[in-house]
Structure 1
């Protein structure tokens, strides 16, 4: 099934995607920034189930480090899988910021831009020489680009930009038969959001009430879709944004 790179996979949706990918027979290179122990925990979980995984540190906001990261990926491909190409890239790393437009600082704006749009753009560019023809790219977008949610304007704007970038990737990489799609989660219970949700049961109930299927999502709800897009089962799905939200605010 090939080898996939998943950024920001030490927790949440990224970690779930790494585990699901391995269960589908994929080799996994997962990245972490500030949580190496979480990444190693995911590697051990994958290995315990008979899979192969390697964790590599990466700060997706620092484009200057991408050449060194590519070298580390090339080394991991060679030593772990005896390969020189990988087959899938999931641009998942990210974080949230909840501020109204009137209080967002330039530093906060630039931080979100670097991680959610500039980072995926230049990381994909840097990794193209190692990407196999016929590979699959999945970019993590957000339902907030469809539904305006007060307090997340910069985040949602850059996620919307990532949707557009996805279509351009699909167009420009077509000669190499590289597919590109984006996945847009709705409200999801992750390591990053669970504490806030538990402390605000009314908020969680409101989100569940706005979702046709009557609950908020779990990381596995999203990761199963991502892994399917990485596989050849979705070989004719290209340039699409797929909202994975249980029918949120329809």
Structure 2
């Protein structure tokens, strides 16, 4: 067996859900910088998605934007059809290499005030949607491909108001191990990446825009600052290279050392 390892992703094709902004955008750009092409997905803001596509193309890579409601299982058949068309028309291929299940949101509430509607919305996009979108796309993922599921630092440390959200992410970490076990015979690795607090518009941009929250997070982080989207995107891009081909079924926290 060759022991040569490469950090080059030239010729690889990735789908990054929820990639019109935030962590998904940063991940898409980081992958494109290493030579990968990208299928950008967005829920409603086509303009933002097109902007990401333009950034990727400016790096010399191919990209398309497809609409996807990652929390609506009934939409996945249609998405799969559009994806097959994009694969054929843009790349003259019938498969892709990497799936990054990133799409999501936080609806914070203490346990005593979590509504059934909030619970269902969180479950649909963070757990049910990840399972069934991956199921729909399995026939299109190349053998030897990679799946990355986005978890959260909140599965290790508790943040009041995040019980329902963090529970879904805990389920994703278990699902990741099962995916790794079942897809191992195809050479597909599956890992969960768990970001800490990041300066994005997630949860209304609280970490980014509230100076008190930002300072508190930085003070609780070993590296002394709040994370930025690029910290996560670069790590995921590295994880998808051949240098990490023997890593699977892992929860990898990328938090700068929060609450050690």
Give the alignment's TM-score, normalised by structure 1: 0.97
2:134 to 102, 124, 127: 124
Distance 1:91 1:199 in 2: 26
CA-CA distance at 1:232 after TM superposition: 1.7
Q: Name the counterpart of 2:73.
A: 63
- 2:199 corresponds to: 189
Conservation of the 8 A alpha-carbon contact between 2:199 and 2:205? no
Separation in 1 of the partners of 2:203 and 2:72? Answer: 25
Answer yes or no: is the 8 Å Cα contact 1:7–1:90 preserved in 2. Answer: yes
Q: Which residue of 1 aligns with 2:48?
A: 38
Task: Determine if contact 1:136/1:229 at 8 Å carries over to the other structure.
Answer: no
The residue aligned with 1:208 is: 218
> Is there any run of 5+ residues in structure 2 with no aligned partner, and where?
1-8
Residue-pair matches, total: 250
Structure 1 segments of 4+ aligned residues over 2 angstroms from their partners: 191-200
What is the Cα deviation at residue 194 of structure 1? 7.3
Q: 1:198 to 1:118 in 2, by over 3 A?
A: closer
Of 229, 237, 251, the residue aligned with 1:219 is 229
Q: Which residue of 2 aligns with 1:17?
A: 27
- The secondary structure found in structure 2 opposite 1:56 is strand
For residues 34 and 238 of structure 1, the distance between their equivalents in structure 2, rounded to whole angstroms, comes to 33
Question: Alignment RMSD, CA only?
Answer: 1.1
Q: CA deviation at 1:193?
A: 5.2
Distance 1:21 1:60 in 2: 21
Q: Indicate the SS of the match to 1:173.
A: helix
Query: CA deviation digits over 1:125-171, x for unaligned, max 9?
Result: 00001110000000000000110110000000000100000000000
Gapped regions of structure 1 (runs ≥ 5): none
Report what 1:150 is aligned to: 160
